[in-house]
Amino acid sequence: MATATPEYSPGLAGVIAGISKISDIDIEKSRLIYRGYDVHELAEKGSFEETAFLLLYGHLPKKSELEEFERTLASERTVPDYVYQAMAAVPDNAHPMDQLKVGVQALAPSDPDYDADPLDHDANVRKSVRLTAKMGALVANGWRLAHGQDVIQPDPELNTAGNFLYMLNGQKADDYTVKTIDTSLVLYAEHGFNASTFCARVTVSSLSDIYSGAVSAIGTLKGKLHGGANEKAMEMLLEIGEPENAEKYIRDKLAKKELIMGFGHREYRISDSRAGIMSQMGKELGRRLGNTKWGDIADICERVMKEEKNLFPNVDFPAAYTYYLLGIPIPLYTPIFAISRITGWCAHMIEQLDNNRIIRPKCIYDGESLRPYVPIDQR
Ligand SMILES: CC(C)(COP(=O)(O)OP(=O)(O)OC[C@H]1O[C@@H](n2cnc3c(N)ncnc32)[C@H](O)[C@@H]1OP(=O)(O)O)[C@@H](O)C(=O)NCCC(=O)NCCS
């Protein structure tokens, strides 16, 4: 009996690789929901901590639950010194995402649940909360260490966004800045079976652990087709420099068949549900700071991309100029994405392990047929 030819979809486009209750994209309406809640509402009315709780525990926290969660995060934010020493040992030319992988991996053995069974749901949730709490400190202090500065310990009074800015800059940020980062963390937290999340799920499906899954995911997020796009988008905006250069710049790139970073998406067809809020925020920030140039350049890029390719900006495009306006160093844009996405990664790893089967797809073999081994002196 002939064997059926396996279906193949390059890039796994359109392939269903699992069942999940964590988030969903309504492509027709360009709507993203986290566990049933519209990300727009979460961004406007909630906080990153609320979103993290929702993703990890499956429901919106009651006031008392949120307060307890925030206390737990505050008590778990401190990173052991040996982890910082490991990060400091990484050569200074390393991208912060590579330094972050070292930090997360080094952190693993200090977790009180390090030896827990990988299928232990409660231990996996505790590990996820600890990782969520520490990511901001790893990124901010990793940057400080690479630039010859001392580590700053987290402030238990500040939230995730506020603490990140405080540890990065050595001073507390104003409320508007904290809210801007907080909103971006809500928008970046979760997005279904994207490349890094899928990678995290694959890693833990072998019954590896949450920290190893996070390291795999960080490595995947780093690429410019995924999270790395926010850094590349800002580099592009800087190259454009002024609004009058934007149209020609984009048309020239497209003529050379080059990708425009921060545009397009595998899932969305009309627009990226998150980009609208992010760009409103970035433009409002520009007006407050008296610097609307980046928003103006972005508008021209968006118009030309629509005309030429019928493509729309994804969330990384407005995130890029928003972070730039806040004075955040460009190599930290993708690590900020990771500070947020750790929650989505962890929710997925927990879900995978709660109902695990090792992820092991097939490929179509397209190599040589069976041939005889040739002794080395006859090749
Ligand atoms: C996101 C992305 C990786 C999706 O990839 P994908 O689903 O495989 O999409 P495809 O590569 O099949 O793109 C379809 C077409 O649109 C074009 N296209 C997609 N994104 C483009 C972009 N940013 N700039 C220019 N052309 C683009 C492709 O070249 C392709 O054109 P073709 O049919 O003439 O060959 C892709 O849009 C991209 O590389 N974007 C830039 C990086 C980025 O912003 N990533 C962050 C995503 S949130």
Residue range 339-372, pLDDT digits in tens: 999 999 999 999 999 999 999 999 999 999 999 9
Active site residue 316: yes
Dig out the tokens for 78 from the structure.
């401190």
pLDDT at 3: 58
109: Cβ–Cβ under 8 A, 6 or more apart, which residues?
A: none
- In CATH, the number for domain 229-325 is 1.10.230.10
The residue from 111, 209, 226, 265 that is catalytic is: 265
Answer with the residue of higher pLDDT: 7 or 150.
150
Give the range among 79-88, 133-142, 266-275, 356-365 with minimum mean pLDDT: 266-275
Residues of the chain with CATH 1.10.580.10: 20-175+185-222+338-354
The helix/strand/coil state of 259 is coil
Residues of the chain with CATH 1.10.230.10: 229-325
The residue from 111, 182, 316, 348 that is catalytic is: 316
pLDDT at 269: 86
How many angstroms separate the alpha carbon of residue 231 from the centre of ligand 1?
17
CA-nearest residue, atom 25 of ligand 1 = 259
How many angstroms separate the alpha carbon of residue 299 from the centre of ligand 1?
19
> What distances in angstroms separate CA 76 from CA 126, 229, 340, 342, 370, one per listed residue?
10, 30, 16, 15, 56
Per-residue pLDDT for 1 more than 60? no
Cα–Cα distance measured from residue 126 to residue 356, given in angstroms and rounded to the nearest whole number: 19
Residue range 215-231, pLDDT digits in tens: 999 999 999 999 999 99
**Are the C-beta atoms of 168 and 143 separated by less than 8 Å?**
yes
Residues touching ligand 1 (Cβ under 6 Å) are 11, 225-226, 229, 259-266, 309, 311, 314, 316
The fraction of the chain above a pLDDT of 90, given in percent, is: 96
121: Cβ–Cβ under 8 A, 6 or more apart, which residues?
A: 350, 353, 354
With CA atoms as reference, report the closest residue to 22 among 53, 46, 58, 51: 58
Cα–Cα distance measured from residue 138 to residue 76, given in angstroms and rounded to the nearest whole number: 12
Dig out the tokens for 191 from the structure.
């997005």
With CA atoms as reference, report the closest residue to 182 among 154, 157, 163: 163
Class of domain 20-175+185-222+338-354: mainly alpha
pLDDT at 7: 84
In this prediction, residue 5 has a pLDDT band, given cuts at 50, 70 and 90, of low
226: Cβ–Cβ under 8 A, 6 or more apart, which residues?
A: 194, 195, 196, 220
The fraction of the chain above a pLDDT of 70, given in percent, is: 98
